[in-house]
Structure formats: C-alpha cells, structure tokens
Amino acid sequence: MMGLPFAVRGGFSDGRASLFLKLLRSYTRISVQEMNPNMRKLEYAVRGPIVQRAIEIEKDLLKGEKKPFDSIIRCNIGDCQFAGQIPISFIRQVTAVACDTHLMDSSAIPDDAKERALRFLKSYATHILILNLTFVFHALTNRNLLLKQGSVNSGAYSQSTGVEVVREDIAAYIEQRDGIPASPENIFLATGASEAVKFILGLVATTKGGSQRAGVMIPIPQYPLYSATLSEFNNYQIGYYLEEESGWSLCEEELEKRLEEAKAHCEPRVLVVINPGNPTGQVLTRANIAAVLHFAHRNNLLVLADEVYQHNVYAPDRSFYSFKRVLHELGGDIASEVQLASTMSASKGFMGECGFRGGYCELVNFDPEVRAHLYKCLSARLCPPVLGQLAMDVVVNPPQPGEPSYKQFCAEKSQVLSDLAKKAKLVENLFNQLPGYHCQPVMGAMYAFPRLELPPKAMRAAELAGMPVDTFYVTKLLEETGVCVVPGSGFSQKPGTFHFR
C-alpha cells in the first residue's frame, strides 16, 4: 500500500478503499474504444489471421492432434533462411568476429573477414569511445588495444544514422552501381528497410499545419507495410492499379486518373513504387521509371522507391535500373528537383538475413534542413541494430578479386540466385498448368501472385462463411493441406479478382 494516496491507506474503510481502487482502475484502463483509432484499423496481412491460425495448428500438431498433414508449410513471408536457405558464409564470419573478437586468433576465419570486422570496429570505436580521446588515438593505431576484451563491444549503441564506415561503403556501392556520386551524409541506416519507409512517410504525415491529410500513392497490389503505415499516420491512401494482363505493368494514365480522384480528399505528396515488385514480381523497364519520374515532377510528388529486391532479377530480358540512375540520366530540372528516397535491405537479395534487421535509405534532392530534422527523429530511436549494419556493410562491400573469401562468396551468391530463378520459373509454370489458376511471369523479387477463378459453389460458400472469396480459399488450403499463403485481399486487388501470394 506504500504507493497509494493517504485517503486509501488510512482515511477510508476497507470497503470504501476497495471501491476507490476499482474506480481508479476503471478510469486508467485503455479500452478498444479509447485506444488510438489509427492503430485499431491498422492491418498487416502477411502476419494476419491466416498466419495466426497456422500457428495454432502447429501447436495442435505438437500435442499429437491428427491432421491431413504432418507440418505447416510457411509460404506467407519472404524469409529465405526460414525456408532453408543456407546463410552466406562471409556475412556470418564477419559478424561472428565483431561479436567475439577472440575469433581474430582463429584459423577457421579467413583474413579478409577479420579485416572487415576490424575496420568496422575501428569506425565504431570512434563513436562509442569518443569521450576517451587518448584511448581512441591509441586504439585506432593499435589492433591489440582495440580488441582488448571490453574495450570495443558490438553491443553498444552506434551513431543514430549508422556507423560511419558503413555509410561510406553504401555510398561507394551506389556510385559503382549507378556511375553517379553519392554522399554518406545523405544515407541513413535503419532497422530493415521497413523502418526507413516509416520515417520517410512520417515526414509527410500531415500538410498545411496539420489541417489536411497527406495523400500517398501506392501500387495495388501492394506490400501491406504501406497500407499499415498510412493507417498509423492517418495518411490518405491513393491506390493505383497495376495492369495484370500486361505483366503487372505500371500505366501513366492510371496514375493521372487516381491522382485527380484523390485531390478532393487530400493533398497528394508521395508516390511509392516497388521495383522489383512485391507481391507481383514485375521488373520495371527504364522507360517505365522515366515516365514515373516525369509524372512525379509534374505533380510535385516525392518518390519513395522500394528497391530491396534489386539483386532478385530473373527474367533474361529485364535488368534492374535504380530510380536514382534514371533520374540523373533524365537531366534538366527533373534531375535537380524531384525528391527521391530509395531503400535497400539485407533481408532480401541473395543474403536473406531477415533477423539481422539491416537496411538503409538514400535521400536525393532533400533540403539539408529537412534532412537534419529527419536525423533528429532518428536519434529518438537511438540507433539501428549494430550487427544489422555490419551485415548491410558486407552486402555493399563484399570480398574482392584476390581476397581469400572471393571465390567462395561468388559461388554461394550465384547458387542462391540461380536457385531462386529456377524456383520462380517452376512456380510460374506449375500454376499455369492448374485449372483455374493464371500466373503472370515472375520476373523478379521472391513471390508469385496467381489469380484464382473459382466456381459459383465456392463463391456461395465464402459468402455463407462471411469471408472474402480469396480468404475463404486460403483458409481451406491451410486447413486441408497445411500450406500457409496470404490472400490477395491482404494486398488489395482489383474488385472482382481473387489472388494469393
């Protein structure tokens, strides 16, 4: 009773005190009606009710309950290592040394992995030991002192924008990829690309002093991170439909139409493009990207380019073009005026290091003052995961020709991407052989998004069950086969069409 008011501790009878406590609890309890309505309406289908039901079934199987299957096959999320992909050795070796510097003495770790870890720790040390300048001076020139147990610990916080050498390596990677200068000052590390997306969308959460909702254009079908974040920030969702019949292509006329329709409800501020596409697997041509950038310029829209699958291009007639590269090549006012935020991740590509939560965002044509406010907001969450930053660093600065790990790294990377390409073609072909399924070419990313044609009887059964048709179908699929997929309604889709990912 130490923390209770005096009236409760001594001034009330026991009965009155109990009543007082009951009233106190009722006043402080958060109810569904009183919680933030934006959080209440937020949905994320990739881990939604179907997935929760899959978890329940897994528990039932562990208890010995009989099902028509022995295990759940999780196809709901792009987590390659969960699905059995073997980690890239070099990433794990470098992060292992950074976690336990005693491994510097291990003959099992290649020298280039040790050097990568040491280089990272040196840059890291300039931040975490900055208050002890004498130690820093000696540590940066003395490997043994730097690695002295407890002197540099990968469990400490880093800079809010990320370890400096990692941002430098990302800038070098972008320069090599695009042939265009990049500055570490315009790059920040994040807890996966998802966090970067949320910070960028948070910049434009409201307009005109908060009196009008900001509109954000997102592709339909879309990755549910976007609709969920828009709900959280109370942004207005402007969905533009991709053209399924032409390989989920992006049509400029559709962009214009949806933008004009939305102006009565919001002030459009952002255009989101996912390339390669999730969940649709398309890869945009350079002409597509140029048209998008011209549209954004005409309508004063910030472009948020989700490019986390840039290593995952399988179609022989397609290549990955970054939005930054095309923007630069367009030249003129477009190149200097269109604001662009592009994201990348260590979770996809050939790496599949989802659990490390490594990602970054590059800002192009951002006002330095706006960038400073964004970085101020980053500091409130302290820093992204340090080992995720290191994993991202290995992705952008892999072993080079002549280094001990080069051949093994190239072989492992090539094997992963080759396997993914074969699986993409296999899945596409198999779906197109099944009656009632239609699957567009899987050009890239990690997903197929087949369309279902269901008989009237199934449509009626879904209606009686009170479910969307695709949700009814994937629920039956889970209950009868143990295969867990995500209904197309979780990604949004054209009315009257039904899909799953």
Vertex 444, ends 441 and 449: CA angle to 5°?
50
Does 394 map to a domain? Answer: no
Model's pTM, two decimal places?
0.87
At 9, the amino acid letter reads R
The reply to whether 343 and 457 lie within a common domain is: no
CA end-to-end span of the chain:
55
The CA distances from residue 404 to 115, 122, 350, 409, 418, in Å, are: 11, 22, 20, 10, 23
Does 111 map to a domain? Answer: no
CB neighbour list of residue 455: distance below 8 Å, 6 or more residues apart:
none
The reply to whether 344 and 437 lie within a common domain is: no
As a whole number, mean pLDDT of residues 334-353 equals: 97
Taken in order 409, 410, 413, 418, is the CA torsion positive or negative?
negative
The reply to whether 371 and 453 lie within a common domain is: no
- Chosen domain end from 334, 355, 386: 386
The reply to whether 195 and 343 lie within a common domain is: yes
- Please check the confidence at residue 191 and state whether its pLDDT lies above 70: yes
Task: Identify whether the C-beta of residue 241 lies closer than 8 Å to the C-beta of residue 253.
Answer: no
For 52-79, how does the pLDDT look when each residue is reduced to its tens digit (9 = 90+)?
999 999 999 999 999 999 999 999 888 9
pLDDT at 6: 43
Does 368 map to a domain? Answer: yes
Does 161 map to a domain? Answer: no
CB neighbour list of residue 241: distance below 8 Å, 6 or more residues apart:
219, 220, 254, 258, 494
pLDDT at 5: 47
How is 112-172 classified by DSSP, letter by letter?
HHHHHHHHHHHHHHHHHTTT-HHHHHHHHH-HHHHTSTTTS-TTS---TT--HHHHHHHHH
Q: Structural domain tally of the chain?
A: 3
Does 338 map to a domain? Answer: yes
The CA distances from residue 469 to 8, 223, 452, 456, 466, in Å, are: 56, 20, 10, 11, 9
Q: How far apart are CA 239 and CA 228, in angstroms?
A: 13
Look at the chain and count its residues.
501
CATH classification at residue 74: 3.90.1150.10
The reply to whether 332 and 449 lie within a common domain is: no
Q: How far apart are CA 351 and CA 376, in angstroms?
A: 30
As a whole number, mean pLDDT of residues 120-149 equals: 59
Chain mean position to CA 21: 45
Q: What is the DSSP letter of 355?
A: G
Does 167 map to a domain? Answer: no
Does 1 map to a domain? Answer: no
Closest CA to 447 of 15, 79, 69: 79
Q: How far apart are CA 274 and CA 226, in angstroms?
A: 11
Does 419 map to a domain? Answer: no
For 359-376, how does the pLDDT look when each residue is reduced to its tens digit (9 = 90+)?
999 999 999 999 999 999
What rounded mean pLDDT belongs to the chain?
A: 90
For 242-286, how does the pLDDT look when each residue is reduced to its tens digit (9 = 90+)?
999 999 999 999 999 999 999 999 999 999 999 999 999 999 999
Q: What is the DSSP letter of 11?
A: I
The reply to whether 437 and 360 lie within a common domain is: no
Q: What is the DSSP letter of 7?
A: I
The reply to whether 457 and 359 lie within a common domain is: no
Q: How far apart are CA 487 and CA 396, in angstroms?
A: 34
Give the structural domain span for 10: 6-30
